[in-house]
Structure 1
Amino acid sequence: MKDETMTDQPFALCLHPADNVLVALRKVPEDTTLPQGVRLRETVPAGHKIALRDIAAGETILKYGQIIGVAIADIAAGAHVHVHNLGMGAHKQDHAFGAGAEALPAPESAAEFMGFHRPSGRVGTRNYIGILTSVNCAGSVARFIAEAAERADLLAGFPNVDGIVPIVHGTGCGMSGGGEGYETLFRTLAGYGHNANFGAILMVGLGCEVMQIPDLIDRKALKDSARFRYMTIQQQGGTRATVDKGLWILRDLAAEADKATRAPAPASHLVLGMQCGGSDGYSGITANPALGVASDLLVRHGGTSILSETSEIYGAEHLLTRRAVDAPTGRKLIDLIDWWEDYTARNLGEMDNNPSPGNKRGGLTTILEKSLGAVAKGGSAPLSGVYKYAEPIDAPGFVFMDSPGYDPCSVTGQVASGANLIAFTTGRGSVSGYQPVPSIKLASNPDLWRRMEPDMDVNCGDILDGVSLAAKGQEIFDLLLSVASGTQTKSEAQGFGAVEFVPWQIGAVM
């Protein structure tokens, strides 16, 4: 494996005047004297923290000017600060609902993309046909239908259709017919049925499952017979008959979906889901704040950006509540945090379950530190709404959608809520894609960009070389418009998207 040393950067950076740690911008050898006047007592890997001064046991440790934990032992100036001497500690934050909410200025000129205009008024960035399943028992048959369509070259005469996407999952039965888990899955399936990136939908069920197709149709008005069809395997007479009927239906749906062509649309029709995965010590310095700039640009143009991963804003929620448009909106976010504390406790977990082993190897130590970097994706726009997992986003602006930190599950919720673009920052090198929604990958450091360029769309590591956050944010925003207009992302080009539909499964499996 290539050494992570980066020789064209300064040794270490102090992110805020109040900080008592530095961030190593490259591997720093033992006995190196830094420009800040600190001599290293040990070799510190790239992305990791260095004590700027002596820190006593029990003293809070600050990064970004915020608390990231407490020293669990005395730490000498120049020492490596990480899991062996930094712990979570208790944290109390001042929520100050709405105290820092400031409207963003209007853009100097309007931005547009070329999208697919739907009868609902939404605009898609892709034009797929979805085979949506109500239950795991229909998953194989949905894939059989898609494979048969590919063998028959069914889309050869429909150039405006991007592909056929089977949406399969592991639940839909063996669950309660009501309550939290059922409602979450219901919102997810209904949300995919309405996502603007689908030009048409075929829903397939088994027939006897808990998640009944008629309930989805009746409650969510999926009744456009030209663009939405459904059937059950039991009603059709088994697998072979269902595949044959599915192919016949897909031809009709393809003809309907092919009527859509790209046409100009204002950027206000973009709904951006923002994620970070495989984060490292650079993420909160480069890729995440650069995405935050792009998020602000989108909001200024009347669009929507969605921050999620509730368990990964823990400890930084006060930075969002201060930007809430009003106290009730801020309170909704804190209610989610309270729910998560209870949820993890009753399942014998803890909110400091993160960072993951890979995050820690990249320099992150506590969830407080990771959360502060993750929140940077949200830029500076007012927090205009807080939504349940997969709940339809019904207003523009910067919003928060509840979700786990598990990336595929979180993105699944964002797509169900209406996202037609995904921007995904990574420091360790996450690889994934989320059909029917294109995903743009943002590399946090130049070493990752060099090693995994075929998977990465933007190199944010050049921020360490002097590229401004404003310039990088504009670059990301311009790429969002280009991808929304049809430019393929790296994950799309490699065919990702077949296994990343992961609904959040809550409650008993029975």
Structure 2
Amino acid sequence: MKHAIVKVHPKDNVIVALRKLDKGEKFTYGNEEFVLEETIPAKHKFTVNEMQVGESVYMYGVLVGKVKKHIPKAARISTENLQHASEAFSLDKRNLAWHQPDVSKWKDKTFMGYQRADGSVGTANYWVIVPLVFCENRNVEVLRDSLVEKLGYGRKNRYNNFAEEIIASFKAGKNVADVKLDTIAATATYERLFKNVDGIKFLLHDGGCGGTRQDAEALCGLLAGYITHPNVAGATVLSLGCQHSQFSILTEQIKKRDVSFSKPLYLIEQQKIGLEKDVMEEAIRKTFEGLIEANNCVRTPQPINKLTIGLECGGSDGFSGISANPTLGYVSDMLVALGGTVILSEFPELCGVEQELSDRCVDENVAKRFIELMTSYNKRAVEAGSGFDMNPSPGNIRDGLITDAIKSAGAAKKGGSSPVTDVLDYPEKVTRPGLNLLCTPGNDVESTTAEVGSGANIVLFTTGLGTPTGNPVAPVIKVSSNTELYNRMNDIIDLNTGTIIDGEETIEQAADRMLDYVLKVAGGETTVAAVRNGQDDFILWKRGVSL
């Protein structure tokens, strides 16, 4: 049965509305009775007690704000009466106890993946075409126009046909309003020439030159992460020749990630070759040769511990930290218990839970690195006139995430309860199984791009408001925090955890359902919405302040 309200943690002094609550409604929670002072929208919170200016507000058991205007008992917290606040943190003793779920029924489960020479396993098999500098983006786009449709990777969709019908109606002097999309045929697919290659992906970006040399180094590291990624069979790389990001930096970064790198890799430099037609001829021929080799890869049964899952959120709402994110957290713990790897990123959205996470680090060196990265990142944000407290978006605030600490405490639930085995700076590669923390912005596309660059072969992505975010080479499984969103936007969302809010499912049951879905996606049995829709988002982080 669906409840109307929930108190997330015994220490909390706010209660969450699971539906719209009207002014004057009466509720009993524990031994306390509440008569609402005002209407409380679903996902928002009301106070347990009357609160004076300067008092602390707790949610998820942590400090999430300070009262800046008197709040009566059973009144809504908002940006008008609450400001961001979070606890200080420091290096403390280790706390490695965790709730290890029973995963006995999953131990012998497998998925059909692509075994790579370095021992990693892909959940897909792509070829990537990469510009080393933005000057080569046009040449990459020419390659896309030349290869994609001809090789059977085009996407002829109903919108093309709809536009053609609109044009035909206009030319015939008819009313274009009479042409309806619902009457147009659904998406058509082309026949692939290479059956075992899932596609050619193009990693367009605006970097490589004009920034700092550190930016070029980070770009080459990120691109090396994609070239060595288990979901990638090989790469064609285009360089102008004079930019900061050189082939030498890229190959060095590749060797750092895979010392015995043996995938087909074609490096093409325009200033060295000369004429554009010669560059294109070389690029098309070499890419075709690489695709022939990539097509020899086939799926074979692989154990669950070969999965590396990125944990991501975007367009979060007041239910994200109650339904979707804790479900990801439980899946995270299940995967860790099975010997797999998970990546939790978005450092601005770990504000307020630093102490818990640093205490969970397996040793002091790992904890120190986490604290140093969090401290320096926030310092850079403040120096730029911002700060973690400015992280929540208008959509977050509208749907109940009033302060960054509230947003962060809910977002951190994606990381479950297992020990933190490693802390990585962008764009380092994951090398240790277990829970890894990766320093990235809270921006969901930058963060997803980084998680995949660090080795995630699948991304679990929660949303409360709806976002189409995808990735060029890794399936991004979109998870809604509430049923209304899933019903409204299920063309871009794959799974619904609003069932938890609706009282139909427990977090554990939703996690079981989610892990089963993950294995189907990993094995190529199920195609996620972002892949069906061709949502290939790729944004690099230039290490300036991006929240």
User: Same fold, TM exceeding 0.5?
Assistant: yes
Cα deviations by residue, 1:169-207 (Å, 9 ceiling, x for unpaired): 011001233x4x333222111111111111111111111
Alignment-derived partner of residue 534 in structure 2: 495
Deviation at 1:324, TM superposition (A): 1.2
Cα distance change, pair 154–20 in 1 and its aligned pair in 2 (3 A): closer
Amino acid at match of 1:387: L
Q: Which moved more, 1:485-494 or 1:214-223?
A: 214-223
Residue 221 (structure 2) aligned to one of 165, 175, 187: 187
Shift of 1:391: 0.3
1:423/1:440 contact within 8 Å kept:
yes
- Contact 2:96-2:362 at 8 Å conserved across structures: no
Alpha-carbon separation, structure 2, partners of 1:28 and 1:241: 68
Shift of 1:119: 1.2
Counterpart of 2:177 in structure 1 is: none
TM-aligned CA deviation for residue 126 of structure 1: 0.5
CA distance in 2, matches of 1:287, 1:300: 20
Question: What residue is the counterpart of 1:147 in the other structure?
Answer: 145
CA distance in 2, matches of 1:506, 1:18: 37
* Correspondence list, 1:380-395, <5 A: 380-395=417-432
2: CA distance, partners of 1:261 / 1:317: 43
Aligned equivalents of 1:284, 1:93: Cα separation in 2: 22
**Which one is further off, 235-244 or 352-361?**
235-244
Mean Cα deviation higher: 340-349 or 383-392? 340-349
Which residue of 19, 26, 29 corresponds with 2:12?
19
Structure 2 equivalent of residue 5 of structure 1:
none
- Equivalent position amino acid for 2:103 in 1: P
- Is 2:125 the counterpart of 1:127? yes
Partner of 1:326: 363
Match of 1:196 among 230, 241, 246: 230
Unpaired segments ≥5 residues, structure 2: 154-191
String of CA shifts for 1:304-328, please: whole Å, max 9, x gaps: 0000001110111112112111122
Show CA shifts across 1:105-157 (max 9, x none).
Answer: 67323331110111121111000000011111111211211220124337733
Letter in 1 for 2:205: H
Could you say what secondary structure the match of 2:328 adopts? helix
Matched, 1:210 2:244: yes
Deviation at 1:226, TM superposition (A): 5.8
Instruction: Work out whether residues 353 and 409 of structure 2, in 8 Å CA contact, stay in contact via their aligned partners in 1.
Output: yes
Give runs of aligned pairs for residues 437-448 of structure 1, distance below 5 A. 437-448=474-485
Instruction: Calculate the TM-score normalised by the size of structure 1.
Output: 0.94
Range 147-156 or range 392-401, more displaced? 147-156
Q: How does 1:111-126 map to 2 (within 5 A)?
A: 111-126=109-124
Which of 188, 194, 201 aligns to 1:158? It is 194
| Matching residue of 2:511 | 473
TM value normalised by structure 2: 0.87
| Conservation of the 8 A alpha-carbon contact between 1:104 and 1:300 | yes
Instruction: Name the structure 2 match of 1:3.
Output: none
1:229-248 → structure 2 map (5 Å cutoff): 229-248=266-285
The one-character-per-residue Cα deviations of 1:276-335 (angstroms, maximum 9, x if unpaired) are 111111000000000001111111111100000011101111121121111221111111
Corresponding residue of 2:209: 173
* Inter-partner Cα distance in structure 2 for 1:383 and 1:443: 26
Equivalent of 2:136, from 135, 138, 143? Answer: 138
After superposition, where does 1:100-115 map in structure 2 within 5 Å?
100-102=96-98, 104=100, 107-108=103-104, 109-115=107-113
Does residue 462 of structure 2 align to residue 425 of structure 1?
A: yes
> After the TM superposition, which residues 45-124 of structure 1 pair with which residues of structure 2 at under 5 Å, given as runs?
45-89=41-85, 91-93=87-89, 96-102=92-98, 104=100, 107-108=103-104, 109-124=107-122
Distance across 1 between alignment mates of 2:263 and 2:2: 58
Q: Which amino acid aligns with 1:272?
A: I
Higher mean C-alpha deviation, range 167-176 or range 32-41: 32-41
Query: Residue 209 of structure 2 contacts residue 216 of structure 2 at CA under 8 Å; is this kept in 1?
Result: no
CA contact (8 A) 1:274 1:422 kept: yes
The answer to whether the 8 A contact 1:101-1:383 is kept is no
| 1:30 and 2:28 correspond | no
SS at match of 2:479: strand
Runs of 4+ in 1 over 4 A off after TM superposition: 222-226
Q: Which moved more, 1:85-94 or 1:308-317?
A: 85-94
What's the secondary structure of 2:489's corresponding residue?
helix
Give the letter aligned to residue 88 of structure 2: K
Q: By how many angstroms is 1:18 displaced?
A: 2.2
The amino acid across from 1:488 in the alignment is: T
Structure 2 counterpart SS, 1:453: coil
Query: SS of 1:62's equivalent?
Result: strand
Contact map agreement 2:446 2:538 (CA 8 A) in 1: yes
Q: How many residue pairs end up in the alignment?
A: 497
Work out the CA distance in 2 between the residues paired with 1:12 and 1:218: 55
8 A contact 1:97–1:321 mirrored in 2: no
State whether structure 2 residue 460 is matched by structure 1 residue 412: no
Find the aligned partners of 1:453 and 1:302 in 2 and give their Cα distance.
Answer: 32
Partner of 1:288: 325
Residues 505 and 395 (structure 1), Cα distance of their counterparts in 2 relative to 1, 3 Å cut: same
d(CA) in 1 for partners of 2:535, 2:269: 28
- Rounded Cα–Cα distance in structure 2 between residues aligned with 1:102 and 1:80: 34
Aligned partners of 2:360 and 2:510: how far apart in 1?
A: 23
Could you tell me which runs of 5 or more consecutive residues in structure 1 were left unpaired when the two chains were aligned.
1-7
| Aligned-partner Cα distance in 2 for 1:117–1:140 | 33
